Each structure stands twice: as structure tokens, then as C-alpha cells.
């Protein structure tokens, strides 16, 4: 029996993907997770990823 996966929008690339991780109220696709992990601090994309990940702290909080 095949599992029914719901696509969610990645907070970094904004694509809809089935596989990834949830962090707080945000979804991070597997591709972006790998890119973030493999990015060195001196690379151009590093600041972009940091900015996107900081948005998790300001996303909706439901109490």
C-alpha cells in the first residue's frame, strides 16, 4: 500500500514538495536541507539561507 504524502511549500525555495522536515511551523524540503548543510559560511548563498531560516522565528505562533 502506497503512502499518501501531502505536498507542502518549502520555506526556502517555495516549491511544493512531499519530502522534508518540519521546524516549528515551517517546512524545509530535502533538497534545501541538503544545500543548507553543505553550504560553507564564506559562500554567497550562506547569507540567503540564514535570512530564510531566521524567518522561522517570526512566523505565526499559535498558543
Q: Is the pTM of this model over 0.95?
A: no
If we measure between CA atoms, which residue out of 37, 33, 43 comes closest to residue 12? Answer: 33
Whether pLDDT at 1 is above 50: no
Does the pLDDT at position 2 exceed 70? no
Q: What mean pLDDT is predicted for residues 1-15? A: 81
4 versus 11: the higher-pLDDT residue is: 11
Q: Looking up cell 511544493, which residue turns up?
A: 16
Mean pLDDT of the chain: 86
Amino acid at each position: 500500500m502506497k503512502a499518501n504524502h501531502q505536498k507542502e511549500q518549502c520555506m526556502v525555495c517555495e516549491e511544493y514538495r512531499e519530502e522534508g522536515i518540519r521546524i516549528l511551523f515551517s517546512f524545509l524540503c530535502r533538497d534545501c536541507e541538503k544545500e543548507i548543510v553543505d553550504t560553507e559560511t564564506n559562500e554567497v548563498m550562506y547569507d540567503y539561507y540564514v535570512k530564510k531560516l531566521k524567518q522561522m522565528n517570526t512566523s505565526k505562533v499559535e498558543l
